[in-house]
């Protein structure tokens, strides 16, 4: 991880902070790490980064099925688990 040398201060409601703490705990992160990660994912990822990610996904050769077919398969599997 790069050296952190700039500081940003934000104010939020106690409820917002509690929600962030809960999410951070579930992910075994500090609130600061959670916020930095969210900023990176939302604002600092470039179109080129997104394009490279999509290219890697497409290169996996996953089946190109229609959602309605997949939805039926999921429903059938779920039904089998219930019975």
Mean pLDDT on 16-33 = 97
The answer to whether 25 and 18 are in contact (CB under 8 A) is no
Residue percentage of the chain with pLDDT more than 70: 94
Model-wide pTM > 0.85: no
Q: Per-residue confidence at 82, pLDDT binned at 50, 70, 90?
A: low
First CA to last CA across the chain, in angstroms? 49
Q: In whole angstroms, what is the distance from residue 48 CA to residue 71 CA? A: 32
Encode pLDDT of 32-66 as tens digits.
999 999 999 899 988 898 899 889 988 988 877 78
The answer to whether 31 and 21 are in contact (CB under 8 A) is yes
């Amino acid at each position: 991880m790069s050296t952190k040398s700039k500081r940003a201060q934000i104010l939020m409601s106690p409820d917002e902070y509690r929600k962030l703490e809960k999410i951070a705990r579930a992910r075994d992160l500090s609130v600061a790490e959670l916020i930095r990660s969210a900023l990176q994912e939302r604002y600092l990822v470039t179109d080129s980064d997104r394009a490279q990610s999509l290219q890697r996904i497409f290169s996996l050769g996953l089946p190109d099925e229609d959602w309605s077919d997949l939805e039926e398969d999921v429903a059938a599997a779920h039904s089998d688990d219930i019975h």
